[in-house]
């Protein structure tokens, strides 16, 4: 069942039609496909008689998982971004980066359906670096980057969980205890092996973040701490302005998991509908929350915006946000664990069994990853600034720059074939440049922030509200 959908979809050309997989394929790729045990097989193989089946997601279930993975409490940092760079600039960036993220997500779908075996960024790296004769390097390079990025995101959710518990309990106990509780809860929720089972959590996550955002908007609209002061434009330093922009970049940084999500869809050709559901939802929600909260919170609105409301409101909103704080981290953790699991059992029947080895391996991988994430969150001083560094290093490429490379790779030799192709070539060179600029400038601004921030102690019991 390896290539049942590959001829239905490839890269679109300017006339709106689709090319078949064979057009523009390199000879070595065709040779791989003609082999009976090709490495270009679907990552989960045949599931006709499988005990555990992975390709079970409908397009809307996959869309809800992507929404839960992408939209979390970080949305409440966007109002401060508006306050830093002004209303007009922030609206342009939120809409513009959202539109660009939609296009780059679409290109990821093109790449996946041209190479059905791609389940992770590591697999994509192997394909990209194969013409250079170093596919193993490409696999390890992008695979390590993906895993590191996901683990740091997991750690950020454990850290957010401790902040939430400190707020709700008025620092009722040592913060390390709250971190351990977050670790245990996240680990338990991450135990299901298939995304279909995890998908039911996504509805709770979406309802949770919606409730938290609306409570914050209503409360700040009633309290009006900003006294109606709104600045259409604002002069700020380059470092502060770019650091604020990285909040928007991180808000769209779900692309790192898209290959894994598409791999578990029943019909991968329906992925564009999934993508449009995600991008339409997150761009709209980001725009409304950022503008409304800034309008009433004013230039001094805090990040997260809960800090600009009363303590009672903050507790209510944090309480409502518990599901999304946990589940968004769980979905990223699931993708990280699945990358290792698929790599360990690819081509083996163990992947589809409920044997002691299969289940035990999944549980062990999941536990180890969450423990590492907890250790990183607790042990590294100024974690938030370090996370900003990781976001600059990886999210800039996974969400933007790398998709430009994917398109250029898929359309090798056809860049000037027509006016439409010339336009798309220029667009994807621009996408690559955006990724490079976000990476370079993000590293600089994060480095400045880390340098200017006083060091904090590791494994501290102090409140981190």
Report percent pLDDT > 70 for the chain.
Answer: 88
Task: Please say if the pLDDT value at position 127 is more than 90.
Answer: yes
User: 24 pLDDT band (50/70/90 cuts)?
Assistant: very low
Task: Please say if the pLDDT value at position 41 is more than 90.
Answer: no
| Lowest-pLDDT range of 182-191, 379-388, 426-435 | 379-388
Output the pTM of the full model: 0.87
Percent composition of the chain: helix, strand, coil (DSSP 3-state, to 5) = 70, 0, 25
pLDDT (tens digit per residue) in 50-86: 788 889 999 999 999 999 999 988 898 899 999 999 9
The pLDDT score that the predictor gives to residue 257 is 94
Position 37 in a domain: no
The pLDDT score that the predictor gives to residue 12 is 41
Position 212 in a domain: yes
Average pLDDT over residues 26-32: 42
Position 352 in a domain: yes
Q: Which two tokens stand for residue 306?
A: 């809960």
18 beta partners: 12
Q: Which two tokens stand for residue 225?
A: 């701490």
The pLDDT score that the predictor gives to residue 456 is 61
pLDDT (tens digit per residue) in 202-240: 999 999 999 999 999 999 988 888 777 788 888 888 888
Q: Is 57 helix (H, G, I), strand (E, B) or coil?
A: strand
Q: Which two tokens stand for residue 294?
A: 């800034």
What's the alpha-carbon Rg for the chain, to the nearest Å?
22
Position 63 in a domain: yes
The pLDDT score that the predictor gives to residue 356 is 92
Position 8 in a domain: no
Q: How far apart are CA 10 and CA 22, in angstroms?
A: 9
The pLDDT score that the predictor gives to residue 454 is 58
The pLDDT score that the predictor gives to residue 20 is 35
Average pLDDT over residues 249-263: 93
Task: Please say if the pLDDT value at position 431 is more than 50.
Answer: yes
User: 28 pLDDT band (50/70/90 cuts)?
Assistant: very low
User: 44 pLDDT band (50/70/90 cuts)?
Assistant: confident
Q: How far apart are CA 353 and CA 45, in angstroms?
A: 13
Report the residue count for the chain: 465
Task: Please say if the pLDDT value at position 280 is more than 70.
Answer: yes
Q: How far apart are CA 383 and CA 386, in angstroms?
A: 5
The pLDDT score that the predictor gives to residue 335 is 95
CATH number for position 87 = 1.20.1740
The pLDDT score that the predictor gives to residue 19 is 40
The pLDDT score that the predictor gives to residue 455 is 55
The pLDDT score that the predictor gives to residue 308 is 80
Pick the more confident residue, 106 or 347.
Answer: 106
Position 141 in a domain: yes
Average pLDDT over residues 151-180: 89
The pLDDT score that the predictor gives to residue 448 is 79
Average pLDDT over residues 321-338: 94
Q: Is 109 helix (H, G, I), strand (E, B) or coil?
A: helix
pLDDT (tens digit per residue) in 212-221: 999 999 999 8
Position 358 in a domain: yes
Task: Please say if the pLDDT value at position 9 is more than 50.
Answer: no
User: 457 pLDDT band (50/70/90 cuts)?
Assistant: low
Based on the structure, what is the number of domains in the chain?
A: 1
Q: How far apart are CA 32 and CA 99, in angstroms?
A: 36
Average pLDDT over residues 402-417: 94
State the residue range of the domain holding 353: 58-452
Q: How far apart are CA 322 and CA 305, in angstroms?
A: 16
Position 322 in a domain: yes
Average pLDDT over residues 143-163: 92
Q: Is 210 helix (H, G, I), strand (E, B) or coil?
A: helix
Element (H, E) at 378: helix 356-379
Report percent pLDDT > 90 for the chain.
Answer: 56
Q: Is 141 helix (H, G, I), strand (E, B) or coil?
A: helix
The pLDDT score that the predictor gives to residue 21 is 37
Task: Please say if the pLDDT value at position 269 is more than 50.
Answer: yes
Three-state secondary structure of 10-35? CCECCCCCECCCCCCCCHHHHHHHHC
In whole numbers, what is the pLDDT of the chain averaged over residues? Answer: 85
* Distances 20 to 28, 117, 120, 259 between C-alpha atoms, Å: 17, 17, 23, 20
Task: Please say if the pLDDT value at position 30 is more than 70.
Answer: no
The pLDDT score that the predictor gives to residue 27 is 47
């Amino acid at each position: 069942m390896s290539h049942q959908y590959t001829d239905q979809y490839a890269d679109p050309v300017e006339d709106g039609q689709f090319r078949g997989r064979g057009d523009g394929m390199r000879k070595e790729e065709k040779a791989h496909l003609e082999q009976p045990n090709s490495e270009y097989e679907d990552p989960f193989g045949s599931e006709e008689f499988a005990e555990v089946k992975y390709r079970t997601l409908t397009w809307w279930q996959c869309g809800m998982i992507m929404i839960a993975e992408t939209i979390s409490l970080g949305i409440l940092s966007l109002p401060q971004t508006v306050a830093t760079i002004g209303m007009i600039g922030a609206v342009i960036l939120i809409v513009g980066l959202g539109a660009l993220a939609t296009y780059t997500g679409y290109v990821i779908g093109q790449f996946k359906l041209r190479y059905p075996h791609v389940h992770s960024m590591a697999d994509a790296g192997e394909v990209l670096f194969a013409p250079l004769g170093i596919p193993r390097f490409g696999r390890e390079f992008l695979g390590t980057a993906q895993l590191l990025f996901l683990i740091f995101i997991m750690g950020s959710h454990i850290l957010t969980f401790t902040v939430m518990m400190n707020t709700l309990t008025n620092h009722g106990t040592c913060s390390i205890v709250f971190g351990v509780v977050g670790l245990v809860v996240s680990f338990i929720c991450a135990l299901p092996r298939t995304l279909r089972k995890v998908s039911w959590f996504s509805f709770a996550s979406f309802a949770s973040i919606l409730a938290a955002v609306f409570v914050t908007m209503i409360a700040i609209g009633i309290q009006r701490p900003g006294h109606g002061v709104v600045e259409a434009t604002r002069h700020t330093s380059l470092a502060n302005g770019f650091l604020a922009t990285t909040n928007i970049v991180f808000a769209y940084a779900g692309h790192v998991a898209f290959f894994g999500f598409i791999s578990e869809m029943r019909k991968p050709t329906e992925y564009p509908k999934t993508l449009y559901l995600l991008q339409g939802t997150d761009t709209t929600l980001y725009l409304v929350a950022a503008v409304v909260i800034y309008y009433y919170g004013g230039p001094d609105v805090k990040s997260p915006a809960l800090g600009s409301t009363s303590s009672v409101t903050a507790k209510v909103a944090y309480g409502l946000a518990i599901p999304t704080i946990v589940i968004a981290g769980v979905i990223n953790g699931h993708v990280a664990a699945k990358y290792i699991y698929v790599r360990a059992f690819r081509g083996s029947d163990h992947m589809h069994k409920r044997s002691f080895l299969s289940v035990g391996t999944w549980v062990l991988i999941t536990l180890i990853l969450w423990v590492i994430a907890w250790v990183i969150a607790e042990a590294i001083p100024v974690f938030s600034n370090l996370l900003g560094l990781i976001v600059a290093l990886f999210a800039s490429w996974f969400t933007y720059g790398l998709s430009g490379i994917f398109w250029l790779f898929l359309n090798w030799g056809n860049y000037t074939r027509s006016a439409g192709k010339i336009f798309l070539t220029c667009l994807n060179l621009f996408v690559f440049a955006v990724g490079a600029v976000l990476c370079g400038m993000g590293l600089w601004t994060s480095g400045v922030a880390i340098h200017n921030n006083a060091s904090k102690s590791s494994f501290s019991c102090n409140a981190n509200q």
